[in-house]
Chains A and B, each alone.
Chain A
């Protein structure tokens, strides 16, 4: 089967939750930017894959086309928790891989509310939050991090260093929500939300959108778009295999490990070949787990890895150079494609001050709690 390429990709600057325009206008912005990035128009697109979570029943993809061109193409609306954008992209990749289309558009878009995500519980009777523990996202991911602390002695300070690093990276990314340095004492001293996650260790709710134009090898050659094209070397999606604590403790590790293994096989490479990673740092605790899940270091070595600076810009394998979900922001349905934008930008050598030198292979990773894991490996072409 022939290769599949990203030829156009872009994201808007993420903005404070609730301040963006209507979801279809927000999605339209990124869609037009991605089209402009490769010099194509909506008339060139054969299908649209649209990721959005908040209005999953609201035909958001079609509403985006109502803004930018009702060409009558098939539209698939995807929802897969925080893996929504990556899932939409992957559906487009798969359609091209299967030979059904040569050129498709993938859009991820989200308008967010403020405050804590998760919890609720639903059902009848009485509220369960704070009675039967916590199902808020900060607490769920705090508990996931505490499992690492239990097994390997990982400290609050090591988790906090993730946030210091990613906030620093975002000072170099004009499209990030925040460009503010947060020293260790600031991160550790900010309001405790759910130990060990402080407020500055929680991802930022933002409005945002990102979009990609995906193309077959044949079409890339025909249109002469190879110059800035990025090859999709691997696209993998997994769900959560059964685990004994599933019912009360969502497992973000096993689905990531299984996806990573498949992705490396598909790309014909190993973790040591990867030059940079955008991974799902929805909370600072999560990032360290994924160093090991993605094979960037051995089991139990993630604490040392953050201490060593290996995952900071300039280190062996920079992680979340965009600022990550912690500082760039996390518009749920857009995040997966925004990650692909960041990696593509480095592979194209267009990342400016935050450019990872000589980047040839990059990886994106998202987790949708519930659970879904999507991993992509991208390769520099020209």
Chain B
């Protein structure tokens, strides 16, 4: 069976070692982006963007409990925005917690975990690895 592919470009799966999220940081102003780019849209600097490994530790900034989505998308799930320690903000599903506002605290510590992309496959039948957040 072939290795899973990354669900997004900024999820890196090294030949050896653990998967991680990759940011791109501006050497001019410190802004952190997801994905490769040449110019910083915060300060306008060119050619100063370099890849950085993002932390797997962060805090839940905000969330929504999604109860209706497009056909075929399983609900409910928790859409979460997480600030990673050391920079970078990422959006994903918060798992390992009931989809109940009483159970989810904004600001709570979470970790990034890497799992199969909910069984979703592309047209060629490839499996994908994705990232999720869970309380820590």
Contacts and interface: CB of A to CB of B under 8 A. Distances in A.
Contacts of B91: 132-133, 248-249
Interface stretch (A138-146, A229-237, A351-359): A138-146
B41 to A, nearest CB: 6
Contact of A249 (B75, B89, B121): B89
Interface string A183-198: 0000000011111110
A192 B117 contact: no
Contact of A130 (B33, B75, B89): B75
A68 B81 CA distance: 49
A263 B36 CA distance: 37
Contact of A129 (B8, B33, B65, B73): B73
A245 B89 contact: yes
Interface string A147-177: 1011000001000000000000000000000
Contacts of B80: 133
Nearest to A125: B122
Interface residues of A, number: 36
A194 B64 contact: yes
Contact of A248 (B31, B81, B120): B81
Q: Residue among B8, B77, B79, B130 with the most chain A CB within 10 A?
A: B79
A147 B118 contact: no
B101 interface: yes
A127 B121 CA distance: 9
B7 A242 contact: no
A40 B106 CA distance: 57
B2 to A, nearest CB: 15
A131 interface: yes
Contact of B64 (A126, A129, A146, A191): A146
Contacts of A116: 68-70
Contact of B89 (A119, A139, A242, A248): A248
Given A126-B128, A248-B81, A131 B7 contact: yes
Given A149-B106, A244-B89, A248-B89, A195 B67 contact: yes
Nearest to A199: B68
B13 interface: no
Contacts of A150: 61-62, 106-107
A244 B31 contact: yes
A126 B7 contact: yes
A367 to B, nearest CB: 18
Interface residues of B, number: 43
Contacts of A126: 7, 117, 120-122, 128
B93 A131 contact: yes
A128 interface: yes
Q: Residue among B63, B67, B73, B122 with the most chain A CB within 10 A?
A: B67
Interface string B110-131: 0000000110111000001011
A132 B78 CA distance: 10
Nearest to A130: B73
Interface in A197-214: 197
A193 B73 CA distance: 13
Contacts of A194: 64-68, 79
A147 B67 contact: no
Given A132-B93, A248-B90, A127 B69 contact: no
Contacts of A248: 34, 81, 89-91
Contacts of B62: 143, 146-147, 150, 249
Q: Residue among A126, A147, A156 with the most chain B CB within 10 A?
A: A126
B57 to A, nearest CB: 17
B33 A247 contact: yes
A136 interface: yes
Q: Residue among B31, B68, B92 with the most chain A CB within 10 A?
A: B68
A331 to B, nearest CB: 22
B7 A146 contact: no
A124 B66 CA distance: 24
A149 B70 CA distance: 27
Interface of A: 116, 119, 124-134, 136, 138-139, 142-143, 146-147, 149-150, 156, 191-197, 242, 244-245, 247-249
19 contacts: A126-B122, A129-B70, A130-B74, A131-B92, A132-B93, A133-B80, A134-B64, A134-B66, A138-B68, A139-B66, A143-B64, A192-B68, A194-B64, A195-B64, A196-B64, A197-B64, A248-B81, A249-B62, A249-B81
Closest 8 CB pairs of A and B: A133-B79, A142-B64, A248-B91, A130-B73, A195-B65, A134-B79, A146-B62, A126-B120
